[in-house]
Amino acid sequence: MKPAILTILLAGASCLHAQTSANLSQFFEGKQVTVKMDMPGSQQGVDIYPQRENSLDAKGYGKRMKQFPVSIRSGDTVMVTTVKVKDKLIEFQLAGGGFGTLGDDTNTAVNFKPEDKSSREKDLEAQIRNTDDPDQKQRLQRQLDSLVRQRERDDARNKAIAEHAAAIKKEQVNEDRARGGSRFNLKYDPKVPANISPQDVMAALAPYVTFPPQLTGQVAAGAEARPAEGPAASATNASGDSVSSLQKGMAEGQVRAMLGEPTSSEVADHDGIQVHTETFARGNSVVTAQFVNGVLVKYSIEVH
């Protein structure tokens, strides 16, 4: 590939990336959401892999919950403060994004260094080595022992002071962590999909976050509608009306407005997550839709 063409392609990809990031930021930032899980007080946050069946990195989550205090508790309503789109990652930051970012002092260590021997101690040691007089040697040794004991007492006192200061600093850092918010890290392989929509983000976070109706029922400003992939792209009802606009991330009310009232409905518990399944008859098609927290997370269409 010629360098000029490669430069143009890279520039186009960069512009698309920036536009996607701007759309998501404009859609989410400043909005209030409710979390459905305790979150660690750290900028490391919670890792989510939307392309996996079990999207939560449960092991990593458990380790961070042991390592850091809870900053956001299940049921808390907090503000989305920042949404960043990177190469393979979307940072969905809540209430500050988590303590430990640039400028946050996470170091709880207070250095303690024992005092070196004083020049007087060294001088006494030299005199002891160089005298043959037993009485003189004992007198010098008593002086040396007294200086050593004093230095050791000073060291013990200074060490205790340092340990106390470190404990206070650790407590302060934990308090800062508890107030610093947290984040979800949406990780993709090999990279974040081009033109990823707010609805895609809400669908990925639906098991862990409750979004307000005004978010689930609106579209991002400036975001372009993308054609649906899969069976919905070709399925039609008896009247010839297309349902190709059906896509994950839509609100339950939007789906019903499109497909009408369901012919059947059921609720099942999957690992503590309530999944609401509705079936719609659309002429020669049957649409099965699954919702979590009122957001469409999965659907299938059978054409008869």
> Which amino acid would we find at residue 232?
A
* Residue 1: predicted pLDDT: 52
* Residue 260: predicted pLDDT: 85
* Residue 290: predicted pLDDT: 86
* Residue 6: predicted pLDDT: 42
Structural contact between residues 38 and 68, judged by C-beta atoms closer than 8 angstroms = no
Enter the pTM of the model.
0.59
Q: Which of 72, 22, 19, 20 is nearest to 45 (CA)?
A: 72
| CA 231 to each of CA 36, 123, 145, 287: distance values in angstroms, whole numbers, following the listed order | 32, 91, 88, 10
If phi over 0 gives left and psi between -120 and 50 gives alpha, with beta otherwise, what is residue 230? left
* Residue 237: predicted pLDDT: 40
Q: Please list, in sequence order, all residues whose beta carbon lies within 8 angstroms of the beta carbon of residue 282, skipping any fewer than 6 positions away.
A: 235, 236, 237, 238, 243, 259, 260
- Cα separation of 253 and 216, whole Å? 9
Taking only the tens of pLDDT, the chain with its 304 residues reads: 555 444 434 444 455 566 778 889 999 999 999 999 999 999 999 999 999 989 999 999 999 999 999 999 999 999 999 999 999 999 999 999 999 877 778 787 788 899 999 999 999 999 999 999 999 999 999 999 999 999 999 999 999 988 988 888 888 878 888 889 999 999 999 999 988 999 999 999 999 999 998 887 644 444 443 444 444 434 444 334 446 567 777 778 878 888 888 999 999 876 667 788 999 887 788 888 888 777 777 888 887 7
Q: Token digits for 194?
A: 């081009």
Which domains are present in the chain? 3-99+180-216 (no CATH), 119-175 (no CATH), 231-303 (3.30.1450.10)
